Amino acid sequence: MKNKRLRNRIIAIIAAMALIVLAAIPALAAGGLTNENTYNPTSGTSGAGFDKYLIIEENDIIPPTAVFNFEVTAPIDDIDATSNSLQVFSGPDPQKVKLYVAEDGVDGSSGSYNISFSGASADVSFGDSGAENLEGFESGTKYAKKSVVIDFTDVAFEKPGVYRYYITENPTTGFGIKHGEYKTIDVYVSDTDPSGTTSGSVYDLVVDGYVMYDGNITEAPGNNDPASRPSGATKDDIVVNKYPSVDLTVMKKVSGNQASKSDFFSFTLEISNGTPNAKLTLDISNMVINDDHNNGISTTAPQIALDADGNGSLTFELQHGQSIRVFGLAEGSFYSVKENDTEGKLSKAGYTTVITQSVTDASEQGEIDDTERIIVLNSGTGSGKGMKKANEITFTNTKEGKIPTGVNMKVVPIVVIALLFIGGISVLTVRMAKKEENEEV
């Protein structure tokens, strides 16, 4: 009986202890950490950027359509870290990354931005700036430059890592992208307390820097060297465009013994399929510009202004040996050059005309009609592809006249004899007069 009571007491004690332990478990749990480690998101900066170049021929003017559109996107997937590479995250909010030229201000607000060269001055020539290694930059060209800001100030980064974005330049009609159509930019974000000495805290982040690569990079940067870069990637912060223009020269020649080198011959040049609203520079150094001739051409800023459809025209006059040159025609432009009627007749009365052209490729030649004194290169004749190289057109007008023979050559000896006879008589008369005067004295 005594043993039974002892056993019951032991069981009661064990049960009580179990209840005490079970009751203590929630208390222990409630006494744990209540704050998890977090980060204060950090915004990016406006410290990144690239240089944008536009290369044109040395005699060209930047057309108003020199506006280049850039789009900012981010990779679809993250790239996991390895023992030799860093974690790469898809950049957050790519539509909030802004591109702009500092003096021009921000254009757009949705990840698509325009960088304009319209109205810019392209006056740095080959050899002036040390930029000779730019693709497409060569002797006979000049360029304008814009420094483009990549602004991440509206983007928040929430933890350490490498955040990646892609920058793409969309094609612009009439302009070639020589270098840098696609760019990759990595944003490096770090913990400001790398030793991790504090727990249960809110940590701070900092943007350490930006690295831009040429092309769309899909590899992660290495983690063993501060200068490490993705496999095969090349650091590059330059984008180059070129305005691929061609020139057109019209020359005038006259020949023949009855051709007048002092005559002015009138021409009309028509251009189509050019760059909309472009202003084409004219070289007028080899033609007469005065009150009576070529009144429509300015001597201070000689140009042809194209309309919104890329069409324009010019009427001008040339004498023998003179020429006019049009710079800055976009590749693919069409033209016609016609020698105009004068006083109801084609060109000058009595002249015959032969038109010749000098081009480097037969497919770019215009169609010639010597009778109508016109040459045409457009979508309806020739190749239909328009100009690809510089074209030189020469209008040669010839007027010959036969000089009668068998008359003048017979008359000339008689005239000479008569003159000699008259001269002889004059001399004798003078001598006789002097002799008579002497005798009288």
Which residue, 192, 218, 242, sits at the end of a domain?
Answer: 242
- Do 234 and 250 lie in one domain? The reply is no
Q: Tell me if 68 sits within 8 A of 230, measured CB to CB.
A: no
Which residue, 242, 273, 290, sits at the end of a domain?
Answer: 242
The per-residue pLDDT for 124 is 81
Distance (Å, whole) CA 115 – CA 170: 11
Tell me the three state secondary structure of residue 320: coil
In-domain check, residue 130: yes
Which residue, 242, 275, 310, sits at the end of a domain?
Answer: 242
- Do 199 and 295 lie in one domain? The reply is no
- Do 184 and 257 lie in one domain? The reply is no
- Do 154 and 282 lie in one domain? The reply is no
User: Closest by alpha carbon to 165, among 42, 39, 44, 38?
Assistant: 44
Distance (Å, whole) CA 392 – CA 374: 14
In-domain check, residue 107: yes
- Do 226 and 260 lie in one domain? The reply is no
- Do 293 and 370 lie in one domain? The reply is yes
What does the pLDDT profile of the chain (441 residues) look like in tens digits? 556 666 666 666 666 665 655 555 555 455 555 667 888 999 998 889 999 999 988 888 888 889 999 999 999 999 998 888 889 999 999 999 999 998 777 655 567 899 998 878 888 877 676 666 777 778 788 889 999 999 999 999 999 999 999 999 999 878 888 888 999 999 999 998 877 666 667 889 999 999 999 999 999 998 876 568 888 889 999 999 998 888 999 999 999 999 889 989 999 999 999 888 888 989 999 999 998 899 789 888 899 999 999 999 999 999 999 999 999 898 889 999 999 987 644 556 778 899 999 887 666 788 999 988 899 988 655 555 788 888 899 999 999 887 776 555 555 555 555 555 555 566 555 566 555 555 555
In-domain check, residue 14: no
Distance of CA 377 to the CA centre of its chain: 25
Task: Dig out the tokens for 268 from the structure.
Answer: 């009309």
In-domain check, residue 392: yes
In-domain check, residue 10: no
Q: Tell me if 166 sits within 8 A of 72, measured CB to CB.
A: yes
The per-residue pLDDT for 345 is 47
- Do 238 and 280 lie in one domain? The reply is no
User: Closest by alpha carbon to 73, among 205, 216, 207, 202?
Assistant: 216
In-domain check, residue 427: no
CATH number, domain at 255? 2.60.40.1140
Cβ contacts of 357 within 8 Å, gap of 6 or more: 365, 366, 368, 375, 391, 392, 393, 394
Q: Tell me if 408 sits within 8 A of 366, measured CB to CB.
A: no
- Look at the chain and report how many structural domains it folds into: 2
- Do 155 and 249 lie in one domain? The reply is no
Distance (Å, whole) CA 54 – CA 177: 9
What's the domain range around 385?
Answer: 245-398
- Do 214 and 292 lie in one domain? The reply is no
Strand partners, 326: 248, 282
- Do 390 and 263 lie in one domain? The reply is yes
- Do 349 and 377 lie in one domain? The reply is yes
- Do 196 and 305 lie in one domain? The reply is no
In-domain check, residue 20: no
In-domain check, residue 24: no
The per-residue pLDDT for 206 is 93
CATH number, domain at 141? 2.60.40.3050
